[in-house]
Amino acid sequence: MRYVSASEAKQNLGAILDSAQREPVTIRRQKRDVAVVLSAQEYERVCAQNRDEFLRVAERLSRHATAQGLTKSKLDEILADES
């Protein structure tokens, strides 16, 4: 991963965008990481990975809730009580 200062990123945006096609570029301001520039392809890969993981967790929770006896009508009842 490449690291650049915020002022360097401002002055060299084109080069930063080119670098981001090969590897993430972290932008730092006052010795703190403030942003990461990713290629669009890498961003889509990360988003897809997060969606897939969310769906796996949701499915696991759904199976567990069903095994514990949670039905749609019980869930509707619980949600209605929260209102």
Give the pLDDT confidence score for residue 83 in this predicted structure: 64
Give the per-residue pLDDT at 81. 80
Can you state the percent helix, strand and coil of the chain, rounding each to 5? 65, 20, 20
Burial 45-67 (b: 16+ CB within 10 A, else e): eeeeeeeeeeeeeeeeeeeeeee
pTM, full prediction: 0.73
Could you tell me the residue ranges of all domains in the chain? 2-38, 41-82
Overall CATH class of domain 2-38? alpha beta
Average pLDDT, the chain: 95
